[in-house]
Structure formats: C-alpha cells, structure tokens
Amino acid sequence: MATNRTFTMIKPDAFGAGNSGAILKMIEDAGFKVVAMKATKLTPELAGKFYEVHKERPFYADLCAYMSSGPIFAAILEKDNAVEDFRKLIGATNPADAAEGTIRKIFAKSIEANAVHGSDSDENATIEGNFFFNQAERVL
C-alpha cells in the first residue's frame, strides 16, 4: 500500500526567484499538508550524499554544484498516495516535456534548474525525509 508522505525540495532556482510561496500554494491547493519544513543550504558534500544514487550519471557533478549553489526549502508532505500524486503535480524532469499546469512547466528554468524535487518511491521518501528532519522537527 502506498504510504501517505513524500519529500520535496524547492530548489535554488525557484527559491532565488522568489517563487517558493507560489509553489507552496500550488502544493497546498493540490491537497498536500506540510508536516515538516525548513530553509537550508546544502554544502557540496551534503548534496553529493543526498544524490549518491546518481553518482554514476553524467550530470552528477553539475547537479551537486547546482543544489549547493543557494538556499532551498526542504519539506515533508502528507496526502493519500503522496509520492505518485506529487510527481504528477510537479511534472516531467525536463520542463520542455512537462504537462501544462505542472509546477515544473510553470517555474522550471531547465532540466537541471527544475524548481522542485519529488521523491520517486515510498522508501526514498522516508530516507530523504530522515536526511533533513529529526523526530522533533516534524509532525509525528
């Protein structure tokens, strides 16, 4: 059964452009509740650890540099079928391929600077949420 939480980041491009509030509004309007949230800035080392699954991919070094280039919001979101529904809301990785009305279609600048992250499985949602938040920093 699908769990009801997912993990997201508002990436440096969207944070820097002042789009965090508008993105959060779309997330809440789609029925997600924020159960943990903070502004933070990743070091290159922490970004490398977070994206370790991608370490063999050609874009890994660029991605880690980009994700540590400015502040982000990290958040845990709650909704039925959270992982799948959130990935639908954000749209395809490359904004050129993202459906109309999706967060990436509206706010992403490029395939890398694509406004938001969304976990790709229940297992990764848990791992990624635990990467940023301890028990006292989230709604249990």
Provide the annotated active-site residues: 117
- x/- map, 19-48, ligand RTP, by CB under 6 A: ------------------------------
Q: Are the C-beta atoms of 41 and 72 separated by less than 8 Å?
A: yes
Candidates 13, 114, 115, 132; binder of ligand RTP (CB under 6 A) is: 114
Cα–Cα distances (Å) from 131 to 19, 26, 74, 77, 89, in that order, read: 24, 24, 10, 15, 23
**111 belongs to the binding site for ligand RTP (CB under 6 A):** yes
Q: How far apart are CA 21 and CA 27, in angstroms?
A: 10
Closest residue to Mg ion: CB criterion = 120
Residue range at the interface with ligand RTP (CB under 6 A); choices 19-27, 69-77, 113-121, 128-136: 113-121
Least distance from ligand RTP to the Cβ atom of residue 132, Å:
14
- x/- map, 82-111, Mg ion, by CB under 5 A: ------------------------------
Bridge pairing between strands 116-118 and 33-40: unpaired
Q: How far apart are CA 122 and CA 77, in angstroms?
A: 12
Candidates 93, 106, 109, 122; binder of ligand RTP (CB under 6 A) is: 93
By three-state DSSP, how is residue 73 classified? strand
Helix (H) or strand (E) holding 76: strand 72-78
Residue range at the interface with Mg ion (CB under 5 A); choices 5-13, 22-30, 69-77, 120-128: 120-128
Phi and psi, residue 137, nearest 5°: -105, 15
User: What is the DSSP-derived secondary structure letter of residue 79?
Assistant: -
Q: Contact residues for ligand RTP (CB under 6 A)?
A: 59, 63, 93, 111-112, 114, 117-118, 120
